[in-house]
Structure 1
């Protein structure tokens, strides 16, 4: 019996079509086969839509080559060819599979082929720019052509094209050659010919238009009227060129007219400032026909139009700006200001500020954005480039920015082509990236709808364009510029108290110096900038900066802040009742003056009276009580930015919190160091030695024993930075940035005790440590300021028979200060024989003062604190019996490449200075003496006085008149000893005497044995 290889359903002859399938499968298979046309249909719809949109969005003109209407129509022809070849391929393969496989298996293969077809088409469309439609569909057709050729060569058989019974009888051979010509060659020839014809026609027109635009007339309209504008500018007058970017649209025409009637009137009649409206090439023949006569008439009327050889498309705004900059570079001016035609700019304010500033180089100013991802401000701002940019270079808002002439020259005067992206303000950041030009942030330039009283640039939407007239009328009539305008919206970087749309809700952060950043966590590592100090505004105390304390302290600076004596500023805070001011707090102040009698202490307090320290001021020491409250802080502008300003306004809201006054102290100490510089110290910090370098800027360190703190400490061992004692020059940005993060109404946490203290500053320093250290930020080893931790400090208050030995051999050698951690020790007495007791006895000015502490619920109003218990205390001269002078030759080198060597450098006393336990000073005696004789004598070496500077001497008697205790101690504190050359070379002993004689008969003398030794590090040559 003969075997029949056909499937059983074909043997029964049930099919009525050439598909050779049962009738119930006919319609599903036809539908599946039709799916192969989907990519071509979608491509045709997309191309047709773009074809009709070309007159609106422009073809790009001769400078920017973009697809024209004809390009999209030709692309549709290639779409049709791709659909035809896809249909042929799918039909052929379907017949083959239906012949060889069961229907279910054939359908699976058919679906797979369709998915592959879709995927290949989608992949090609995604990898080629959408503005190249012909290229996209030619490539798809090429793939389909190759697939059909392979199918014809290897997979074609007549049996797939006939009914079952015909195949069984006598198959008819199909000519592969005739099929290829009919299906492949002929359609390809027709489509290729049409494409070549259209392209040749476009090339003919392009050559003519290009030659007209790029050779004969590079710029149009009033491009050359600027040639004489700046020639009359004197060398002492700043000249300004304003470029206002506009468009060919009817809305652009209306906006230009409104600006001429309002903001630009503030530029009229100024021979040193002029403006131009910048437009590109007409988008299309239709636009040129409709708007051309109006623009030409506008140009002839106002003589303020500039036509540049670039597309006028919104997406080509960067190229239009670049061409305008290239044009402007031909003229001589000092500053170029770019704006848009829907922006009202206070040109009067801007011009005045620039003329006050004078000529600058490398100047770039505007609303600055930093560390922004490309699409951070919305999809309409998304930037597409030919390379990946995880983060954008710093850029300024396109609303308004200012460039000096040399910056424009850097942009346009280069040989290599520039990179162009759609958002022109971001393009500016890319152009200037690498030139080390840091944009200056000006938050008065606003992108949004807010209206602020000091705003200098505001954008108006088209439907609110008439509000420009309102603002202009306000300006010329002397009213606040936002009168009758909506002021309920919060401006970016402005305080938002009582306003809607707080910009922080958009996850933005604003730094008044650096600009706007994105607070969202990102997957890239932010690199901190090298500039860690702010350039604070200049102050003329008593003129543009009101006094807080006449002659000493103003709202923005102090008498010492900008001088070499900045280290003499000391800041302390007191927010408790005066009755809690105990003897240890008095002594903390005394220890400052013992070691630095010229120190000026400002007590920031809301409880102490201005004469609280009069007993010390009578002795000549300077301490001033500065009363603070909510109103004072606001009136003195004691805030860092919009966040802290809102926080201070909400004082009443926060005041009920249990940690508020701790937080307030954290805030004030940062503000004082930022505004004024100097030393901030807690009232439980006891100085035992001054730092050897007056210019050293430092903060102490300690270790936390809490494992949970490891999340924010500097290392895995719990190293953190307490704020109990800090010394810095003014302007460190870390204090401003830290407070603008912790103390804002938007994110202040009144229940978090440490969020504005050590945790805040340690977290900040950990993130910016390298840059801070390069700027001079010094983290001291723990023992320098905190020789005992808060868990161990209590033992310094307990009797210790070895306390004196520990003080001399360990504490004074390694430390400058002992911090008592008041929360841990305020309730503990200073017991006799303890280490702290020895320190307080060794360093004691013995200035009688009244006890204000509470005892048995009664004030000891009649108790006098002094060595005699009375107002009269005898004078005593205090000094060391032995003084070791450790000679260090000019070649001595202390390596700083390890923690141990760094510690040794910090612990070295200043050579020849009598510091620490060697301190020479007067205690007790009358507050002021009409005449004092200070006699100084040394056997072999030399002495000199540092304040005021004097020549060296071996014997000298100095007479002081009307001298206070401070005056005498200033002289003694400035004594400097230097050994004779013989002693310096060989070591040995010298003898020095100091005697004091008062006019009232009191006198005292100190004899000091000076031992000169070589430094143990001498011989380590640098």
Structure 2
């Protein structure tokens, strides 16, 4: 017998599943070839996990075609893992056998061929079943692999298959044990988990719609709600309808008209919609309309029955149930409308596709400060809502919500308040989350017509001369939207020139940002509740009866339109009691500094001397400043006194006027009165703001330190700290200011004592009541916040200094909000070039021309009325990702720190010079890595956006720029690094076209130390 050729040395050792037994240089290639068998399973694994996270649970209302759900994809993931395991076993076993029986090159060829077959079969089965049958796909692949492994084991046990040379024996395995451990046991576990998951899903698939209607409805849809495909923006539309015959007709009209404008699904945007009905309101309605609705849904498959009453009084619950149903699906925006609204879906689709997915997005026709209707004859009367005002809400004609807003409404367990009107109820539901609506006047519920509307209500009488069919015909024939319709009526918030009416005739007023409110509130009561006997209830204001306007729309004798709102901090009070000739450039700049850091500030100039037109140039630029004249007679007529003692003091004005400090005492009196009656910020005309306080709700007064030993008997502590009322901000109603004024201007009033009615009076009062006042929110900020330099040394801030920039940037700016110049000490001193104050004036300058009160020269950068347009902003901005440490040693330090991502202080962004108004302003914002947000009004993050403002003033532009907030990317926040912010502004109208741009380099870093 011939001697067989010896086998290569690497075959001499027994082979095991974990041993390759090939030369070392072939280890990595063999491992990679072996691992390729896992690629189809890994691909399926990642795809199914991704789909499981994106797809919601199947509908419990029954109004969809059943598609793969989250549970389906998780089960498919189990089968993927089993397929990967069996594929690995098959490949390893065949590789073992081929390496034993064949040369290495031949074994590798067979291994590659097996992998290619595995991939091809997996790809074919995936394409055959499609993406919506993941379980069937991977069960089939597992079945093929199971058969392959069984055949391999059967053939391996065959003597013919195992024929070998005599002196070499291949290692054998226990086939029974292999079948149990490798095939049967894993298969049993996966089948058991699949059955368990199926039982849970079957329980979730119990439909309720047919039970609600006691009819057998087939509720489905032509659009897959569980998967919008690969569209960038997914939009869910719910259309409120009803069981009535009229509701049936409206749905038909809606489908035949406005629904035809809904675009088909593309890679940019995808729509799906439902008509929302409640339960049959009665057995009669069920028998009358049930068959019709059944046939209707068989045709269109677009009706959803929610478990709620269909009656008008239960609209809020009906809408809530609809939102609850939608929350289980994957979408970016939800649009709610009614079946009698003509909607420009073509316009909305373009806008949403351009906008892209948003966070905390709520758009509609905004309403604010609307009291509940208490007239029983009005169908919208809301007797079930007890508070005096509804939170901001949007008209129910159409509103748009982002997915996270819908989830905020229905995703949190707990009781819900259901008022009669669903639009107002939406505002109530969202009020705790501080989500504010974006006002869009193009949505109208009244029977009016404007060509740019995106939602137009059609009443039953067609009072404006046309139907939804006519409006669709206009669009299809490229006509104006309102062509052929009556357009003599003015829509809410639209210009009413040439129209037969004005919305103000209906007692409405409009704000471009907030939306619609009432022009005259019906006997509105504005009070402040008592807080631990520290705050008073103020006198009830009933306009037209016990209260009259001082500044129409803003200020009455008893209250202001800001005092009881979240914008109370915007109120600023200043006084001027000397001749207009003493109003110098530094005083103009004091006012500008307010608006640089808070463009929306409302300034009331209380004066005995300045004319009403004194600040016209600032008004022309949009800034809100009003001259309020006062005198003895006017104060008494306004009832601007706080009690009998202050009333007596005002009555004796002529007597006290002869005193050496009368006008100083008069301004002290006014600060107590104004803060008590109206709230807001009172400031002296020598207080220079260099940043805005970061917390709008903080109520504060500044502290300073006395230098005279004789003052120690009335200061707050042994260090000589006293309260300086030169700058203070509080809500209205603090009892302290009334008590201080009554005590200071009592019969014991001393006209020859300079500070007796000012710092001394308020410090002594707080010294005896400090604990209870601080518990109620009274905050004393450290002296460096409002008075960084003592009155003895303040003169050096006006003197030229080579280190002035270092002093301002690294000493004052990091610790202060304001620089107080102590006018009595510095009014006679010039502001020298290169001084700290000079740098402040150069950095913060609106460059609004005004006339010098003495020389009558024009004060501006060009000494003319025309000034260059400039966009001002920092070259570098440091974003501090961690809270600064508290170096102040007081518990309020968090309220003093600058909010990360805001551009305040030396980082403030604003425009100076240029035109006061513009018909069109375009602002382009972009950031390289992080995200931007335009304050709380829009409340959505973006990396790039272009904002267009129409008919705006400089104030409007600066208000937007002032609200920019930056957030770094996750990587930058964790590791630090650089980013870049670009801002470009274009002013364009018929008269001129100007532009400006800046780039801000952003450095994200962790810092230690307190900066605010």
Task: Pick the TM interval, shorter chain.
Answer: 0.3 to 0.5
Compare CA radii of gyration and give the structure with the larger one. Answer: 1
TM-score by length of 2: 0.46
